[in-house]
Amino acid sequence: MKCFFFSFRACFGEHEVSPVPCHRQGRFSCRRPCGRPLTCGNHTCSVECHLVTGGNKCEVCDEGCSKPRPPGCPHPCSRPCHPGNCPPCSQMIRQRCHCKISMLYVECTKLTSAAEQTKVELGSCNNQCPKELSCGHRCKQVCHPGVCEEKCQQKVKLRCPCKRIKKEFPCSLSAQCVVQCDDACRDQQRKVSQVKEAEQRAAQEEEQKKLQEELEAFEKRQQRGGRRSKKRGRREEVEEEGGRMARWWRRCGAFVLVPLGGALLSAAAYYLLNTA
């Protein structure tokens, strides 16, 4: 005969306790999901309520790791779903340096776990910053983020007004610094001034000497020009007298030679007629 007394039994997954007739021995399945934690420690068994023994275990988790990544890490965990913390990310991050000239490769875990100052150092190519300051000099800092510091430390040379004294100052302070002349500078300026004055006097004297020589030469030319005029007057008188004599001789020749020639021609004609 079947016993119709009831006893309370728990299901395989111990989800519930229900009254079970005595003739039904053992535990039972409540047909709910198992819900036992899997070995990954992150998920639960989704198989129907079942008995767990040495040969019958819960399912194996085949999902990927879904744990949150460290701040700044864009790479998923390379392991399947696992218990505990994820291993450090060993992938390399490719990024430009602060001055945008060089390409850097940094291990992800170093970059995500570093302090802010260390991140700045990891992002530097360690070369001199190529940017130009407002003063015209190149930034002296190592490759850095943000705006360059305008306190230019480039050494510039300043001179005193006479250019004898020369001093070096940082460029950022050069607008506030003035180099003054000393006693040696003033003595030198005084000597230079004296030399210039002496040269000017010598030049003036030389100019006056040249003017005096030109004036004397002009006066001598004027005197020689007067004597030449007198000689020219006498020569013109002699030439005029000679011209008068020549004209007189021509007139005399006209009165004497013409009748004489006619007489000779007549005599020659007479001689020829008589001899014929």
> Distance (Å, rounded) from C-alpha 165 to C-alpha 176?
17
Q: Please determine, for residue 148, whether its predicted confidence score (pLDDT) is greater than 70.
A: yes
**Bridge partners, residue 28, by sequence:** 11
Residue 161 lies in a domain: no
**Bridge partners, residue 170, by sequence:** 155
Reduced to 3 states (helix: H, G, I; strand: E, B; else coil), residue 64 is strand
Residue 142 lies in a domain: no
Structural domain containing residue 26: 1-63
Residue 24 lies in a domain: yes
pLDDT at 46: 86
Residue 254 lies in a domain: no
Q: How confident is the model at residue 235 (pLDDT cuts 50, 70, 90)?
A: low
Residue 39 lies in a domain: yes
Q: What are the pLDDT digits (tens) for 74-132?
A: 898 888 888 888 899 989 999 999 999 999 999 999 988 889 899 999 999 999 999 99
Q: How far is CA 72 from CA 69, 76, 117, 119, in A?
A: 8, 12, 16, 12
Residue 139 lies in a domain: no
CB 9 within 8 A of CB 27: yes
Structure tokens at 96: 């430009």
Residue 131 lies in a domain: no
- Give how many domains the chain has, as a whole number: 1
pLDDT at 228: 53
Residue 45 lies in a domain: yes
pLDDT at 14: 78
